[in-house]
Amino acid sequence: MEYWKEEIETLSRPALEQLQVRRLQETLARASHSPFYKRMFAKKGIDAGSVRSLDDLKTLPFTTKDDLRNNYPYGFAAIPLKDCVRLHSSSGTTGNPTVVLHSRRDIDEWAEQVARCMYMVGLRDTDVFQNTSGYGMFTGGLGFQYGAERLGALTVPAAAGNTKRQIKFIKDFGTTCLHIIPSYAMRLAEVMHEEGIDSHETRLRVLCIGAEPHSEEQRRRIEQMLGVKAYNCFGMSEMNGPGVAFECTEQNGLHIWEDYVVAEIVDPHTLEPVVDGEVGELVLTTINREAMPLLRYRTRDLTRFLPGSCPCGRTHRRLSRFQGRSDDMIILKGVNLFPVQIETILMQFPELGGNYFITLETVGASDEMLVEVELSELFTDDYSVLQALARDVSRRLRDELLLTPRLKLVARGSLPVQEGKAVRVKDLRKII
């Protein structure tokens, strides 16, 4: 087995936890210089000595996205701005955006973190890496750029959009690896097919897919369509960006890098730790960041720890594929469900394409769900075949969701495609 930095990736659990405690103490000392934590620490009687074990971390208050917004732009800066070299901001839909600051060392560590992930999935300095993320404030651009350069790959900073140009680059430059949002990977595969390009004849072999929830079925479909291995990568701007957790070649859970963050999983309602192995909200504390430490940050992302050790030999724990964010949960007629559950069913039908859209609406006195899904290229216009297909899909949805959505099969290419993260749900329900 080859590692980017073997000593840290395979560090024994006791040594890793010892390192975490030491870094936590350093983090608390640093955080006490930020206006936000200075106030919090004074109010709650917290100081750098408050955490002597990982268990003590649980006594600290949580930090939320609202805290970031309310202290926009520099209320979390723990070092002077003259020592910061980068700012990333994520806009959000309401209120102030959030800001994350980085020192030179932070940027350097982040590059190491992403390089470690890329090496883990078999990428080397001989690879040609094409990044289809928007550059600028979105961290998937510069985050992967610096990581891939640290790895030594030849980088193609294609940035977002212009699918035909992306395909030309893949062919002309011999791209071996793409960083791409899963919904866009499906689109790219379709356009390649339409253009009559067989992806197996390109050098493409690895995809890093992330930034939005997706199902195992969608991953398999992307792999088949493009003839590649696709690895799930997870990150968020508040935790730098990409590289927080990443699948290894086992494709069974994402290693969360515990020399960078301390991860907890809590019940989103009680905020108490869940029983080990149960699904809950991921809470992260940065322990390797200078400019802007965050303590017990509530990510809103729902996942669980996978039990046991990974055959790859890495000791950093694994998280299961993300279900979505707690705010993505649909509550319909008392049933709780996530869009990826619907996706999981749809993707099992080869007659269906990858693009789907869920509308929640009030019909008469009742709330209903409409699922529109595109047909794949196996499309037929035989009405009775389509009807039989619709019946089958509806039955599978009902069995899985315990409610019966209205289903509409639509022609390929008729649902909207976003340039960034896919928007899958529209809620038009009236409060009656």
Sites for Zn ion among residues 248-277 (CB under 5 A): 248, 250
Q: Could you say whether residue 212 binds ligand AMP (CB under 6 A)?
A: yes
- The neighbour count for residue 312, using CB atoms within 10 Å, is 18
Question: From the CB of 328, what's the least distance to ligand AMP, in Å?
Answer: 8
Chosen residue from 107, 312, 332, 397 binding Zn ion by CB under 5 A? 312
- Report the residue number, 133 or 202, with the smaller CB distance to ligand AMP: 133
Residue 310, binding choice from ligand AMP, Zn ion, none, Cβ under 5 to 8 Å by partner class? Zn ion
Which of 38, 193, 203, 325 touches ligand AMP (CB under 6 A)?
A: 325
* Least distance to ligand AMP, CB of residue 286, Å: 14
From 54-62, 227-235, 259-267, 362-370, span contacting ligand AMP (CB under 6 A): 227-235
204 binds Zn ion (CB under 5 A): no
CB 68 within 8 A of CB 238: yes
**Closest approach of Cβ 20 to ligand AMP, in Å?**
22
Interacting span for ligand AMP (CB under 6 A) from 64-72, 108-116, 209-217, 411-419: 209-217
The answer to whether 141 contacts ligand AMP (rule: CB under 6 A) is no
Q: Which helix (H) or strand (E) holds 357?
A: strand 352-363
- Between the alpha carbon of residue 158 and those of residues 130, 164, 204, the distances in Å are 6, 12, 15
- Smallest gap from residue 421 Cβ to ligand AMP (A): 7
What is the side-by-side strand order in the sheet with 406-410? Answer: 406-410, 366-375, 352-363, 425-427
Torsion of CA 246, 230, 118, 25, to 10 degrees: -10
Output the CA torsion sign for 108, 111, 117, 120: negative
Pick from ligand AMP, Zn ion, none: which does 195 bind, CB < 5 to 8 A by kind?
none
Residue closer to ligand AMP, measured from CB, 71 or 299 = 299
Return the residues of window 231-270 that contact ligand AMP according to CB under 6 A. Answer: 232-237
3-state secondary structure 192-203: HHHCCCCHHHCC
Contact call for residue 127 and ligand AMP (CB under 6 A): no
231 three-class SS: strand
Decide if residue 139 touches ligand AMP (CB under 6 A): yes
Binding test (CB under 6 A) with ligand AMP, winner from 211, 228, 295, 389:
211
In the complex with Zn ion, the residue whose CB is nearer, 310 or 415, is 310
SS3 of the chain: helix, strand, coil, percent, to 5:
35, 25, 40
Distance (Å, whole) CA 288 – CA 245: 15
Out of 141, 147, 210, 353, which residue is the one contacting ligand AMP (CB under 6 A)? 210
Question: Which burial class, exposed, middle or buried, applies to 428 when counting CB atoms under 10 A from its CB (0-12, 13-18, 19+)?
Answer: exposed
Q: Which lies closer to ligand AMP via its Cβ, residue 253 or residue 293?
A: 253
Can residue 310 be called a binding residue for Zn ion (CB under 5 A)?
yes
Kind plus residue range of the DSSP H or E element containing 40: helix 35-44
Stretch that binds ligand AMP, among 72-80, 219-227, 229-237, 384-392 (CB under 6 A): 229-237
Alpha helices in 57-96 (DSSP H): 65-70
How many residues make contact with Zn ion (CB under 5 A)? 5
Binding of residue 90 to ligand AMP (CB under 6 A): yes
Confirm if 21 and 53 have CB atoms less than 8 A apart: yes
Contacts of 134 (CB under 8 A, 6+ apart): 140, 141, 159, 160, 419, 420
DSSP-derived secondary structure letter, 277: T
Chain residues that interact with ligand AMP, rule: CB under 6 A = 90, 139, 210-213, 232-237, 299, 301, 322, 325
Chain residues that interact with Zn ion, rule: CB under 5 A = 248, 250, 310, 312, 314
